[in-house]
């Protein structure tokens, strides 16, 4: 089964805690796009989209969407005061120059060394990696939001990715519906657990090796 609205929002809310004023942040499609709605009022975070939007605001109310204003996934967005537009070459130039402080992306698999696989969907035709390869290679910090397991119950945090990689050793943090991991040079560190999960639950559904932080937090 897929994630419910509450589970998706708790992940987005936890990711929003990693963002600070004056950061330039790129949000991927899916769960990462929800991060916008969990930022504090009056924040000074500049949200970037590859299609050429800088300064995105919260999700528009139903019926108040602007058909000409969308994010890279084609979903409607708003723009904050001081925001701007550019063409996609300039937007990608910001990424490739290393100007993105944080990128938040979805994933199909992440390895214990921080390898990312997020562009090949088994059994489906896809046009290519898109901007994920640029963001994975050049963002100063890469946060992944994803289900902890497949619909079949198979782990998505693996010792080694079985799907084609987007980039190697690029992920800095993984937030799932069960837990939060940081990626260190030594491997995964379990830093947060979402209730009602336990460490045993996490271990049972995670193929990758991990250690438990001395400051492990339990999030209600």
For the annotated catalytic residues, the residue numbers are 50
Helices (H) and strands (E) in the chain, counts: 4, 13
- Taking Cα atoms as reference points, which of 129, 132, 113 lies closest to residue 121? 129
Before 99, cis peptide (omega within 30)? no
136 backbone dihedrals φ, ψ, rounded to 5°: -65, -35
Strand partners, 173: 143, 182
Distance CA 100, CA 16 (A): 16
Sheet holding 157-158, edge to edge: 116-117, 109-111, 157-158
According to DSSP, residue 76 is labeled B
């Amino acid at each position: 089964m897929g994630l419910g609205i509450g589970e998706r929002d708790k992940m987005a809310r936890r990711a929003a805690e990693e963002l600070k004023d004056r950061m330039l942040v790129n949000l991927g499609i899916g769960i990462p796009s929800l991060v916008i709605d969990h930022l504090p009022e009056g924040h000074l975070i500049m949200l970037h989209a590859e299609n050429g939007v800088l300064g995105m605001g919260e999700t528009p109310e139903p019926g108040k969407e602007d058909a000409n204003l969308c994010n890279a996934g084609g979903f409607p967005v708003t723009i904050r005061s001081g925001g701007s537009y550019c063409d996609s070459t300039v937007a990608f130039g910001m990424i490739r120059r290393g100007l993105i402080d944080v990128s938040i992306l979805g994933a199909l698999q992440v390895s214990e060394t921080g390898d990312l696989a997020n562009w090949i969907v088994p059994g489906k035709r896809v046009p290519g990696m898109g901007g994920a390869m640029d963001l994975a290679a050049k963002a100063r910090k890469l946060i992944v939001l994803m289900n902890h397991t497949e619909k079949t119950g198979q782990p998505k945090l693996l010792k080694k990715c079985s799907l084609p990689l987007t980039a190697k050793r690029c992920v800095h943090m993984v937030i799932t519906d069960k837990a939060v991991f940081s990626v260190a040079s030594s491997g995964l560190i379990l830093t947060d657990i979402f209730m009602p999960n336990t460490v045993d639950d996490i271990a049972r559904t995670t193929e990758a090796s991990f250690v438990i932080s001395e400051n492990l937090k339990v999030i209600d």
